[in-house]
Amino acid sequence: MTSILTNNGAMVALQTLKSVNNSLEETQNQISTGKEVGMAKDNSAVWAISKSMESDISAYEQVTDALNFGEATVGVASSGMEQIVETLKDMRDLVVAGVSQNVDHAQIEADLANKRDTIESIIDSASFNGANLLDNAVTAQLDVLGGLDTTALTGDIISVTGVDSATNLNTGAMTALAAGNADTVMTEIETMLTFSIGEAARLGASSNRLTDQNDFISKLSDSMKTGVSSMTDTNMEEASARLKALQTQQQLAVQSLTIANSAPSTLQQLFR
Protein backbone atom coordinates (compact mmCIF):
# COMPACT_ATOMS: atom_id res chain seq x y z
CA MET A 1 0.00 0.00 0.00
CA THR A 2 1.18 3.45 -0.88
CA SER A 3 0.28 6.31 1.46
CA ILE A 4 0.74 10.02 1.04
CA LEU A 5 0.85 10.37 4.84
CA THR A 6 3.47 7.76 5.69
CA ASN A 7 6.51 6.99 3.55
CA ASN A 8 8.00 3.88 5.11
CA GLY A 9 10.77 3.64 2.54
CA ALA A 10 11.89 7.23 3.22
CA MET A 11 11.89 6.59 6.98
CA VAL A 12 14.10 3.53 6.60
CA ALA A 13 16.43 5.37 4.23
CA LEU A 14 16.60 8.34 6.60
CA GLN A 15 17.49 6.14 9.58
CA THR A 16 20.17 4.45 7.50
CA LEU A 17 21.60 7.83 6.45
CA LYS A 18 21.62 9.04 10.06
CA SER A 19 23.46 5.90 11.18
CA VAL A 20 26.02 6.26 8.41
CA ASN A 21 26.51 9.96 9.17
CA ASN A 22 27.05 9.22 12.87
CA SER A 23 29.63 6.55 12.08
CA LEU A 24 31.29 8.86 9.57
CA GLU A 25 31.49 11.69 12.10
CA GLU A 26 32.93 9.33 14.71
CA THR A 27 35.57 8.05 12.29
CA GLN A 28 36.51 11.58 11.22
CA ASN A 29 36.93 12.58 14.87
CA GLN A 30 39.13 9.56 15.49
CA ILE A 31 41.34 10.48 12.55
CA SER A 32 41.55 14.18 13.41
CA THR A 33 42.29 13.61 17.11
CA GLY A 34 44.30 10.42 16.74
CA LYS A 35 42.26 8.95 19.61
CA GLU A 36 39.83 6.06 19.22
CA VAL A 37 38.91 6.40 22.89
CA GLY A 38 39.20 10.06 23.76
CA MET A 39 36.22 10.40 26.09
CA ALA A 40 34.44 8.17 28.58
CA LYS A 41 31.44 7.84 26.26
CA ASP A 42 33.63 6.27 23.57
CA ASN A 43 34.41 3.25 25.77
CA SER A 44 34.01 3.80 29.50
CA ALA A 45 35.99 0.72 30.60
CA VAL A 46 38.99 1.37 28.36
CA TRP A 47 38.90 5.11 29.15
CA ALA A 48 38.98 4.41 32.91
CA ILE A 49 41.92 2.01 32.58
CA SER A 50 43.84 4.41 30.34
CA LYS A 51 43.35 7.34 32.73
CA SER A 52 44.60 5.24 35.63
CA MET A 53 47.67 4.25 33.63
CA GLU A 54 48.27 7.85 32.54
CA SER A 55 48.22 8.87 36.22
CA ASP A 56 50.86 6.21 36.95
CA ILE A 57 52.96 7.42 34.00
CA SER A 58 52.85 10.97 35.34
CA ALA A 59 53.96 9.72 38.76
CA TYR A 60 56.85 7.77 37.24
CA GLU A 61 57.96 10.92 35.42
CA GLN A 62 58.39 12.52 38.84
CA VAL A 63 60.39 9.48 39.94
CA THR A 64 62.62 9.96 36.90
CA ASP A 65 63.24 13.57 37.87
CA ALA A 66 64.13 12.52 41.41
CA LEU A 67 66.51 9.85 40.12
CA ASN A 68 68.17 12.34 37.77
CA PHE A 69 68.84 14.70 40.67
CA GLY A 70 70.04 11.80 42.80
CA GLU A 71 72.36 10.56 40.06
CA ALA A 72 73.86 14.00 39.64
CA THR A 73 74.37 14.48 43.39
CA VAL A 74 75.99 11.10 43.91
CA GLY A 75 77.97 11.50 40.70
CA VAL A 76 79.53 14.73 41.96
CA ALA A 77 80.43 13.08 45.29
CA SER A 78 81.83 10.01 43.56
CA SER A 79 84.02 12.09 41.26
CA GLY A 80 85.20 14.14 44.22
CA MET A 81 86.13 11.08 46.23
CA GLU A 82 88.00 9.58 43.30
CA GLN A 83 89.98 12.80 43.03
CA ILE A 84 90.74 12.65 46.75
CA VAL A 85 92.11 9.13 46.23
CA GLU A 86 94.43 10.39 43.49
CA THR A 87 95.55 13.29 45.69
CA LEU A 88 96.35 10.94 48.58
CA LYS A 89 98.34 8.73 46.23
CA ASP A 90 100.39 11.79 45.25
CA MET A 91 100.90 12.57 48.93
CA ARG A 92 102.11 9.06 49.59
CA ASP A 93 104.66 9.41 46.79
CA LEU A 94 105.90 12.64 48.34
CA VAL A 95 106.29 11.01 51.74
CA VAL A 96 108.24 8.12 50.19
CA ALA A 97 110.68 10.71 48.86
CA GLY A 98 110.84 12.26 52.33
CA VAL A 99 112.16 9.09 53.94
CA SER A 100 115.68 9.99 52.86
CA GLN A 101 117.69 12.27 55.15
CA ASN A 102 119.31 14.34 52.40
CA VAL A 103 116.11 15.84 50.92
CA ASP A 104 114.41 19.16 51.46
CA HIS A 105 111.75 18.12 53.97
CA ALA A 106 110.44 21.67 54.20
CA GLN A 107 109.70 21.75 50.48
CA ILE A 108 108.08 18.36 50.57
CA GLU A 109 105.95 19.46 53.53
CA ALA A 110 104.92 22.56 51.56
CA ASP A 111 103.80 20.30 48.72
CA LEU A 112 101.94 18.09 51.19
CA ALA A 113 100.24 21.15 52.66
CA ASN A 114 99.00 22.11 49.19
CA LYS A 115 97.64 18.59 48.73
CA ARG A 116 95.86 18.77 52.07
CA ASP A 117 94.29 22.08 51.03
CA THR A 118 93.23 20.45 47.77
CA ILE A 119 91.41 17.69 49.67
CA GLU A 120 89.61 20.23 51.85
CA SER A 121 88.64 22.19 48.75
CA ILE A 122 87.27 19.08 47.03
CA ILE A 123 85.18 18.23 50.10
CA ASP A 124 83.79 21.74 50.34
CA SER A 125 83.09 22.00 46.60
CA ALA A 126 81.42 18.62 46.02
CA SER A 127 77.95 20.09 46.39
CA PHE A 128 74.96 19.72 44.07
CA ASN A 129 71.63 21.42 44.63
CA GLY A 130 72.53 22.06 48.27
CA ALA A 131 73.57 18.48 49.05
CA ASN A 132 77.18 17.49 49.77
CA LEU A 133 77.70 13.79 50.33
CA LEU A 134 81.43 14.24 50.98
CA ASP A 135 80.59 15.97 54.25
CA ASN A 136 77.99 14.25 56.41
CA ALA A 137 77.80 17.38 58.54
CA VAL A 138 76.11 18.98 55.51
CA THR A 139 74.27 15.94 54.15
CA ALA A 140 74.10 12.99 56.53
CA GLN A 141 71.97 10.96 54.13
CA LEU A 142 70.48 11.51 50.69
CA ASP A 143 67.09 9.85 50.19
CA VAL A 144 66.15 9.41 46.53
CA LEU A 145 62.71 8.34 45.32
CA GLY A 146 63.50 5.28 43.22
CA GLY A 147 60.08 3.84 42.45
CA LEU A 148 56.41 3.64 43.34
CA ASP A 149 54.20 0.98 44.84
CA THR A 150 50.98 2.18 43.21
CA THR A 151 48.86 -0.31 45.15
CA ALA A 152 50.00 1.01 48.52
CA LEU A 153 50.69 4.58 47.40
CA THR A 154 54.18 4.43 48.85
CA GLY A 155 57.61 5.13 47.43
CA ASP A 156 60.74 3.04 47.12
CA ILE A 157 63.52 5.09 48.71
CA ILE A 158 67.18 4.65 47.80
CA SER A 159 69.37 6.05 50.59
CA VAL A 160 72.99 7.14 50.20
CA THR A 161 74.93 7.93 53.37
CA GLY A 162 77.25 10.92 53.48
CA VAL A 163 81.00 10.57 54.07
CA ASP A 164 82.31 11.23 57.58
CA SER A 165 85.06 13.49 56.30
CA ALA A 166 85.46 15.35 59.60
CA THR A 167 86.69 12.16 61.28
CA ASN A 168 88.40 10.25 58.50
CA LEU A 169 89.64 13.01 56.18
CA ASN A 170 90.71 15.62 58.71
CA THR A 171 93.81 16.80 56.88
CA GLY A 172 94.28 19.63 59.35
CA ALA A 173 95.18 17.11 62.05
CA MET A 174 97.84 15.36 60.00
CA THR A 175 101.41 15.31 61.22
CA ALA A 176 103.76 17.68 59.40
CA LEU A 177 106.56 15.91 57.59
CA ALA A 178 110.02 16.34 59.09
CA ALA A 179 113.25 14.39 59.15
CA GLY A 180 112.68 11.06 60.88
CA ASN A 181 108.85 11.00 61.01
CA ALA A 182 108.05 9.85 57.48
CA ASP A 183 106.70 6.53 58.79
CA THR A 184 104.15 8.31 60.99
CA VAL A 185 102.96 10.52 58.14
CA MET A 186 102.83 7.53 55.80
CA THR A 187 100.63 5.60 58.25
CA GLU A 188 98.19 8.52 58.46
CA ILE A 189 98.03 8.81 54.68
CA GLU A 190 97.58 5.06 54.22
CA THR A 191 94.69 5.09 56.69
CA MET A 192 93.02 7.96 54.85
CA LEU A 193 93.70 6.33 51.48
CA THR A 194 92.13 3.04 52.54
CA PHE A 195 89.07 4.90 53.83
CA SER A 196 88.81 7.02 50.67
CA ILE A 197 89.07 4.03 48.33
CA GLY A 198 86.29 2.29 50.23
CA GLU A 199 84.06 5.35 50.17
CA ALA A 200 84.75 5.94 46.47
CA ALA A 201 83.72 2.35 45.74
CA ARG A 202 80.56 2.75 47.86
CA LEU A 203 79.56 5.96 46.12
CA GLY A 204 80.28 4.40 42.73
CA ALA A 205 78.04 1.44 43.57
CA SER A 206 75.27 3.82 44.70
CA SER A 207 75.63 5.78 41.48
CA ASN A 208 75.31 2.57 39.44
CA ARG A 209 72.21 1.58 41.39
CA LEU A 210 70.56 4.92 40.68
CA THR A 211 71.49 4.67 37.00
CA ASP A 212 70.11 1.13 36.71
CA GLN A 213 66.91 2.14 38.50
CA ASN A 214 66.53 5.15 36.24
CA ASP A 215 66.91 2.95 33.16
CA PHE A 216 64.28 0.56 34.51
CA ILE A 217 61.81 3.34 35.31
CA SER A 218 62.34 4.78 31.83
CA LYS A 219 61.62 1.41 30.18
CA LEU A 220 58.63 0.84 32.47
CA SER A 221 57.20 4.25 31.61
CA ASP A 222 57.71 3.59 27.89
CA SER A 223 55.93 0.23 28.17
CA MET A 224 52.99 1.85 29.95
CA LYS A 225 52.78 4.56 27.29
CA THR A 226 52.76 1.87 24.61
CA GLY A 227 49.98 0.08 26.48
CA VAL A 228 47.85 3.22 26.71
CA SER A 229 48.49 3.93 23.05
CA SER A 230 47.36 0.46 21.98
CA MET A 231 44.13 0.88 23.95
CA THR A 232 43.17 4.43 23.02
CA ASP A 233 44.98 5.57 19.88
CA THR A 234 43.40 5.34 16.45
CA ASN A 235 44.61 2.67 14.05
CA MET A 236 45.05 5.06 11.15
CA GLU A 237 45.13 2.33 8.47
CA GLU A 238 41.85 0.83 9.65
CA ALA A 239 40.28 4.25 10.13
CA SER A 240 41.28 5.32 6.63
CA ALA A 241 39.67 2.23 5.08
CA ARG A 242 36.57 2.65 7.25
CA LEU A 243 36.28 6.32 6.27
CA LYS A 244 36.32 5.45 2.57
CA ALA A 245 33.67 2.77 3.06
CA LEU A 246 31.44 5.10 5.08
CA GLN A 247 31.71 7.85 2.48
CA THR A 248 30.50 5.35 -0.13
CA GLN A 249 27.68 4.22 2.16
CA GLN A 250 26.70 7.85 2.71
CA GLN A 251 26.42 8.46 -1.03
CA LEU A 252 24.28 5.33 -1.47
CA ALA A 253 22.09 6.26 1.52
CA VAL A 254 21.47 9.71 0.03
CA GLN A 255 20.50 8.11 -3.27
CA SER A 256 18.16 5.67 -1.49
CA LEU A 257 16.51 8.53 0.38
CA THR A 258 16.09 10.46 -2.84
CA ILE A 259 14.40 7.48 -4.50
CA ALA A 260 12.15 6.89 -1.48
CA ASN A 261 11.13 10.55 -1.38
CA SER A 262 10.23 10.55 -5.07
CA ALA A 263 8.00 7.47 -4.80
CA PRO A 264 4.81 9.32 -3.66
CA SER A 265 5.01 11.60 -6.68
CA THR A 266 4.08 8.63 -8.90
CA LEU A 267 0.64 8.72 -7.33
CA GLN A 268 -0.12 11.78 -9.42
CA GLN A 269 -0.32 9.57 -12.48
CA LEU A 270 -3.29 7.72 -10.92
CA PHE A 271 -5.36 10.90 -10.85
CA ARG A 272 -4.74 12.12 -14.38
For the chain, percent helix, then strand, then coil, each to nearest 5? Answer: 70, 10, 20
- Terminal CA-to-CA distance of the chain, rounded, Å? 19
* DSSP H/E element including 144: strand 141-149
Query: 73, 141 in Cβ contact below 8 A?
Result: no
Nearest to 220 by CA among 137, 132, 148: 148
Quote the pLDDT of residue 122: 96
pLDDT of 271 above 70: no
DSSP 3: -
pLDDT of 65 above 80: yes
pLDDT of 24 above 60: yes
Quote the pLDDT of residue 114: 96
DSSP 173: G
Mean pLDDT of all residues in 164-193: 92
Quote the pLDDT of residue 3: 66
Quote the pLDDT of residue 103: 80
Single-letter residue type at 124: D
- Length of the chain, in residues: 272
What percent of the chain has a predicted confidence (pLDDT) above 70?
A: 92
Average pLDDT, the chain: 89
Model's pTM, two decimal places? Answer: 0.76
Query: 123, 169 in Cβ contact below 8 A?
Result: yes
Quote the pLDDT of residue 187: 94
Mean pLDDT of all residues in 49-68: 91
Q: How confident is the model at residue 272 (pLDDT cuts 50, 70, 90)?
A: low
- Counting Cβ atoms within 10 Å, is residue 129 exposed (0-12), middle (13-18) or buried (19+)? exposed
More confident residue, 182 or 259: 182
